[in-house]
């Protein structure tokens, strides 16, 4: 599994160790996130610093996780590279998520 989690300052930090977050791993990633959301209600930071390319399916997983949270906790996105930031911009993801340069800043953000 190219996903890992750790707890840090009341946040669940999920890291994606995969250069492409696309349709080929979207289902696995969704199941992984949904499992954690079912077990743990803390705010989540998704560390995307390794991801160089994300497609609409990858984006769909992030939004599905947000829907699954149902407003009970927050999801923050950290470390997005330029191509991923372009996608976030095109799809106005700043309306749905806090998008921060690093995991540390994401944890500190209120």
Partner 1 sequence: MEILVVEDARDQRMMLTRLLTKQGFQVYEAADGLEALAMIHDHRGIRFVVSDWMMPGMDGIELCKTIRATDFHRYIYFVLLTGNSDEEAVVEGINGGADDFLKKPVDFNELQARLNAGNRIIELKAALEAKIDAIETDLKSAADTQAQLLCDPAQLGNVAFNWYFKPSRFLGGDMFGYHELGDGHICFYQLDVAGHGIPSALLSFSLNHILCDDQHGNVVKEVLDTPPYVRGRAPDQVLSRLNEQFQAKAESMLYFSMAYGLINNETGAVSIALAGHPPPLWVRKTSASIEVLPIAGVPIGMMPGMSYSTESLQLAPGDRLFLYSDGLTECENREGEMFGEDRLKSMLKESITKDLGLVVNHFEDSIRDWSGSEVFEDDVTFLLLEWNP
Under the rule (CB under 8 A), what is the footprint of partner 1?
A: 23, 26, 30, 34, 55-57, 59-61, 63-68, 89-93, 95-96
Nearest Cα neighbor of 16 from 85, 62, 56, 60 is 62
List phi, psi (to 5°) of 64.
-60, -40
93 vs 103, beta carbon nearer partner 1 = 93
| Exposure string over 12-37, b if 16+ CB within 10 A, otherwise e | bbbbbebeebbeebbeebbebbeebb
80 vs 103, beta carbon nearer partner 1 = 80
Strand 53-54 and strand 43-47: the pairing is unpaired
Taking the complex as a whole, the smallest distance from the CB of residue 85 to partner 1 amounts, in Å, to: 12
Taking the complex as a whole, the smallest distance from the CB of residue 53 to partner 1 amounts, in Å, to: 8
55 vs 109, beta carbon nearer partner 1 = 55
6 vs 72, beta carbon nearer partner 1 = 72
Taking the complex as a whole, the smallest distance from the CB of residue 64 to partner 1 amounts, in Å, to: 5
- Contact of 16 with 47, CB cutoff 8 Å: yes
Taking the complex as a whole, the smallest distance from the CB of residue 105 to partner 1 amounts, in Å, to: 23
Hey, how many other C-beta atoms are within 10 angstroms of the C-beta on 11? Answer: 19
């Amino acid at each position: 599994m190219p996903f890992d989690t750790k707890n840090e300052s009341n946040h669940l930090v999920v890291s994606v160790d995969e250069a492409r977050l696309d349709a080929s791993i979207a289902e696995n990633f969704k199941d992984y996130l949904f499992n954690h959301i079912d077990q743990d209600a803390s705010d989540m930071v998704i560390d995307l610093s390794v991801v160089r390319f994300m497609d609409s399916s990858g984006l769909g997983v992030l939004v599905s996780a947000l829907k699954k949270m149902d407003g009970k906790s927050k999801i923050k996105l950290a470390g997005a590279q330029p191509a991923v930031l372009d996608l976030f911009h095109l799809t106005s993801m700043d309306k749905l998520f806090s998008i921060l340069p690093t995991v540390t800043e994401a944890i500190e953000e209120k």
